[in-house]
Amino acid sequence: MGKIVEPAWPAGVEPVEAFAERMLARGDELYRALPWRHIDDPYAVLVSEIMLQQTQVARVGRFWERFLAAFPTVDALAAAAVPDVLELWQGLGYNRRALALKRTADQCAAEGEGRLPDTYEGLLALPGIGPATAAGVMAFAHQVPGVYVETNVRAVFLHELFPDRDGVSDRELAPTVAAAALCGPAAADPRRWYYGLLDYGAHLKATGVNPTRRSASYSRQSAFEGSRRQKRAWIVRRVLAAPEGSEAPCVLAELSAAEAGAGRPAVDEALFASIVDDLVAEGFFRREGALLIP
């Protein structure tokens, strides 16, 4: 969906303007006052959008405020050391997001005079920023309408316009989202439009309705405990806790002991080596012989 999406409205449903008016009213009823709303700083909006990926809203607030207090600007984040960035990210999970955000700041500090691009296409060219994130920044920071297909937005459109369909793809949803976003009532205030959809989608899920299960992109997240993701997170925390570096065999032994304490088998050396290789390649830390260094 990085390509231009041609708006198209489904046949047999209410007119797009009527739908938009009804969704705006529903969104106003369900509005949530969140700290990253109604701000014009694209960087602060981007941080919130990245943090909200795969993380519940209730958990993000304190992380967002703490992160921006430490790194209030693109230049401040670019100047920060990777271990310091990852330390403030601990508890949010999916640490790759923090690295991508840091790389974005590095690129903007070097090429953009410390500012994020102010176009959708420019944002898409940055590390870790996909179509939904770019559209979110444009809508929330710049009041520019676009195709923002986020999980709660997806839930609303599936619930309202595709109530009897399974396996609906984002490719099919995107033209409908575009048609609604670009119609008069929604385009007049993109922030209000998408805030309302996000809050309505969250309401649907909170009341036991989860239309996203009927999306072609839906997949149930696997258990964290005992997974490769859990072991990755443990290794990152352990290595970052020792600025002078840690011997890889010691890290493996401690990880195996932690797994045994949780009633799980010791970690295989090949699995450990594979995870460490990935983390080094992704930039979480470096390796000098057997030493893992933040």
Tell me which residues are annotated as active site.
49
Which residue in this structure is represented by tokens 């997949």?
219
Greatest distance between any 2 Cα atoms in the chain: 65
Centroid of chain to Cα 181? 21
The Cα 107–Cα 105 span in angstroms is: 5
- Residue 287: count other Cβ atoms within 10 Å of its Cβ: 15
**Helix H or strand E encompassing 292:** strand 291-293
Inter-CA distances, 34 with 61, 68, 87, 157, Å:
8, 15, 24, 23
- Residue 161: count other Cβ atoms within 10 Å of its Cβ: 19
Q: Are 5 and 146 in contact (CB under 8 A)?
A: no
Which residue in this structure is represented by tokens 């670019």?
78
Q: Are 40 and 141 in contact (CB under 8 A)?
A: yes
Which residue in this structure is represented by tokens 């923002």?
148
The Cα 90–Cα 188 span in angstroms is: 38
The Cα 129–Cα 80 span in angstroms is: 20
The Cα 41–Cα 48 span in angstroms is: 11
Inter-CA distances, 179 with 1, 7, 44, 115, 187, Å:
15, 4, 28, 30, 10
Q: Are 126 and 104 in contact (CB under 8 A)?
A: yes
